[in-house]
Structure 1
């Protein structure tokens, strides 16, 4: 019985450790996303300290690979009190000194040495000869990969004692490495933009180039963020399922809160991707049957049973891109449902046939909007209420699409009565 209880205690401790690690990663990820890029260095050093302390490392660091010149250099470092820093000694180190290291990273694998003293002695330039003078007893180095390209690694040294890393720890450290790639990449992008701004002779050309780079960067960062967020969501979901019987309601609620915020972050990233690409889609416009398009949208949405969505008969056909107009109607309908506090929510999709254009409307009987906020709701990340799962980017996407098609969009609303969003689409032969 005692042995069984000891096993359960150990299992509970492992689960608690994993959950705390995941919460720490979510906290760091949030800081990275909202970071002032002028403070990236201190932010990275702070996160190295947090992760280093959490896993019991004595030194944590970031290296960049220069595969063209076959060198690697230490770019960021944190050391525990009493541990000597090595960053100045580790610049432009020939890669052939750490070939085993590089081989593992090239495969996308961690390089892990549980006991440095057990390494083979390969002479004064061998790996053991490099690590032992630094007092390293154990280490783990996780590759940093950007767009399938090896760009560096993040490592953790144990100097005071040997440290054994579990597979779960390794997986979570991979998530941290992906987060570092994102924030460093953002900083590099900002530095590039600042340099471009200093060149007055090519200012106009640079502005256009910067906009393109920012859009590409947004897509790249968003795609890269999806992977760690998915990993975090999966890990927490597993924990919730496996521990459903052993955790109390408060702890289960905490897990639900984490999942809610991870899903919210995922929705935000999807919104950013849509916003950054909606005017970049290289697709020819075609005739769109809005009766079929809008009905398919409603059929594929997860609409609560008590919500009624009415679509006016005989919606017109228009010329446009199917994906763009799906985003328009989906975001407007979703927004009408999201901001509705009535017992019997209603959403109405309609149109009026004008001489040179169609005037569409999406009407609800929801909470309404104050007149002074009509323009604000179309701004990116603007939300009038913080207690919703909406990322606050849907109406920005809608306005961008309608504006690109040379249409108008506006709001009529009364508080506690409802809101109608109108937009126009030009008629084309």
Structure 2
């Protein structure tokens, strides 16, 4: 049998009879068991409030306070400002009710109208509402902290300053005892290169450390981006050597998030709780994961800046050599040309940072989605149809924005990553594409029997066909139709064609559809981001081919593209 969850309730009321009534009413709760702290005066209530109850029932008329005065006093107490308070009165005075709510009370109840159900509902609702408000505020604080660190990364190239800000702000947000950024050496030893620690605990800054338990299993775990969460160091589930090492630093609970540069394990972002054991919240884990990503960006940015400074220094030396010797002019000019090419490459690396940072756009979208879900869950069956429709529209827009961000990232990746060259059976590739799209049986898809096998970058060709075929199905004006895929041999190229009997495309849009963010339908009618054909065009042109469309309204469309028979290395 499951044990009821426990709650502590502070009742400030000078009526013994009323307090006994509240006790009896709360004892009928089947989900929660209540421990009541009882006070007859406001002074006693203020003293008992230091025990941090889950909620307070506050009588409006007390021997030494009126309820509104005591409510204001409680709200000024440290760590009590968000405590849910329900004001109780013997008379249903709306003026008092309004003042109570404005003063920070969660609810207002008239004693003569209180039943067991009313009291239990009011207490439960007040506690849950206060918890939700605290969670929303914590989420907002997390987003502000991530934005602060992100802005500092964008504005500063001083890695030490960024890391120091990170560890100090994280320790303040988590209210924990120590936060460090730990960097690995090649032998997986390492040291804390940045630290924020409470004055009563030892500092481990720049102290060389080695975990005797650290091996391939740990390395593999962290390289996969997995987090290590330890709520109680002495729970008996950890390796003794790991416990002994952390005990040297007074640790009772810790939270470890890997810092990855691409797929390489650079170091760790670590939070230590030394005073007591601690159950880490999911929002705290997610914060460290986000900030580990930001730290990774800052490290890459600082390394690139150092490289650029070195290259600038080399350029200055080259210019000095140019002034010293006219005979070396040609050689120096050649060197400068090579360096210019290197600068172009570095600029491309800077472009890459843009799409890495753009991942941060998803964080506020997830926050909006989570908050809307919480609100909807709290409202439960009280959600009006119109409000439900607004929730659906909101999530639809969030989904579209996330798809748009993903599409932009995919567009930016085209031509950046190395894709292996392998044998491609075009017939097998098309069968896989059609199967993965789950095309309706109402569509007749005909593949030419002359499809070749050649060497190339299979995944890129697969992405092109998947986009063209899915467009032919998605934008068809009927639930059934015909799609034909053919090929022509053009000496150095293969020319593939995807033809449908759909609604066709007006001639004035034949060039525009390959531009980014161009779609022929409103975003309210389709989930298209307007980037798909732009990605297709970029892939084909990167591989040395071309694409164009032949189409007339009501006569279908044919997309033709060329593909090199032998891909370049």
Q: How does 1:13-412 map to 2 (within 5 A)?
A: 13-15=130-132, 18=135, 37=154, 63=181, 65=183, 67=185, 70-74=190-194, 93-94=206-207, 108-109=227-228, 142-146=256-260, 147=263, 149=265, 151-153=267-269, 166-188=280-302, 190-191=304-305, 194-195=308-309, 198=312, 199=314, 201=335, 202-203=338-339, 206=342, 245=380, 248=383, 249=388, 250-251=390-391, 254-255=394-395, 257-258=397-398, 261-262=401-402, 265-266=405-406, 269=409, 276-277=416-417, 280-289=418-427, 292-302=428-438, 309-318=443-452, 319-321=454-456, 322-336=458-472, 340=475, 342=477, 348-351=483-486, 353=488, 356=491, 357-363=494-500, 364-365=502-503, 370-371=508-509, 374=511, 377=514, 382-385=516-519, 387=523, 389-390=527-528, 393-403=531-541, 405-412=543-550
C-alpha distance after superposition, 1:160-211 (max 9, x if no partner): xx99775233332233234324432552464266347635535277369759
> Once the 2 structures are TM-superposed, how far is the Cα of residue 325 of structure 1 from its aligned partner?
1.9
Higher relative contact order (CA 8 A, sep 6+): 1
Secondary structure in structure 2 of the residue aligned to 1:281: coil
TM-aligned CA deviation for residue 252 of structure 1: 5.9
Query: What is aligned with 1:119?
Result: none
Aligned partner of residue 298 in structure 1, secondary structure: helix
TM-score for the superposition, normalised by structure 1: 0.58
Task: Give the corresponding residue for 1:7.
Answer: 124
How far apart, CA to CA, are the structure 2 residues paired with 1:34 and 1:418? Answer: 50
CA gap of 1:216–1:231, structure 2 versus 1, over 3 A, is same
Q: Distance in 2 between matches of 1:375 and 1:31?
A: 39
Within 1, Cα distance between the matches of 2:482 and 2:267? 50
SS at match of 1:311: strand
CA pair 57-335 structure 1, distance change in 2 beyond 3 A = farther
Residue-by-residue CA offset, 1:141-172 (whole Å, 9 max, x unaligned):
65343147352426699xxxx99775233332
1:243-264 deviation line (CA, Å, top 9, x unaligned): 6945732456545554554455
Partner-residue secondary structure (3-state), 1:299 = helix
Provide the C-alpha distance between the structure 2 equivalents of 1:252 and 1:315, rounded to a whole number of angstroms.
46
* Residues 139 and 405 of structure 1, relative CA distance in 2, 3 Å threshold: closer
> Would the aligned equivalents of 1:408 and 1:423 in 2 still touch at CA under 8 Å?
yes
Check conservation: 1:358, 1:425, Cα contact below 8 A. yes
**SS of the residue 1:365 aligns to:** coil
Give the Cα–Cα distance (whole angstroms) in 2 for the partners of residues 395 and 402 of structure 1: 10
Output the CA distance in 1 between the equivalents of 2:419 and 2:281.
41
Q: Which residue of 2 aligns with 1:116?
A: none
RMSD over aligned CA atoms reads: 6.2
* Separation (CA, whole Å) in 2 of partners of 1:196 and 1:394: 40
Give 1:242 shift: 6.7
How many aligned positions are there? 381
Query: Separation in 2 of the partners of 1:37 and 1:241?
Result: 36
C-alpha change, 1:334 and 1:341, in structure 2 (3 Å) is closer
The answer for the alignment partner of 1:421 in structure 2 is: 559
Aligned to 1:122: none
**What is aligned with 2:9?**
none
User: Residue 405 and residue 150 in structure 1: after superposition, are their counterparts in 2 closer, same or farther (change >3 A)?
Assistant: closer
Residue-by-residue CA offset, 1:195-245 (whole Å, 9 max, x unaligned): 4763553527736975997899899x69x99x9899989978996997694
**Measured at CA, do residues 349 and 214 of structure 1 come closer, stay the same or move farther in structure 2, by a change above 3 Å?**
farther
* 1-structure distance, mates of 2:432, 2:340: 43
Unmatched 5+ residue regions in structure 1? 78-84, 114-125, 132-137
Q: Which runs of 5+ in 2 are unaligned?
A: 1-116, 222-226, 233-247, 316-334
Residue 329 of structure 1: how far off its partner (Å): 0.4
**Normalized against structure 2, the TM-score is what?**
0.47
CA contact (8 A) 1:49 1:60 kept: no
Displacement of 1:282? 1.9
Cα pair distance change 1:415/1:315, threshold 3 Å: same
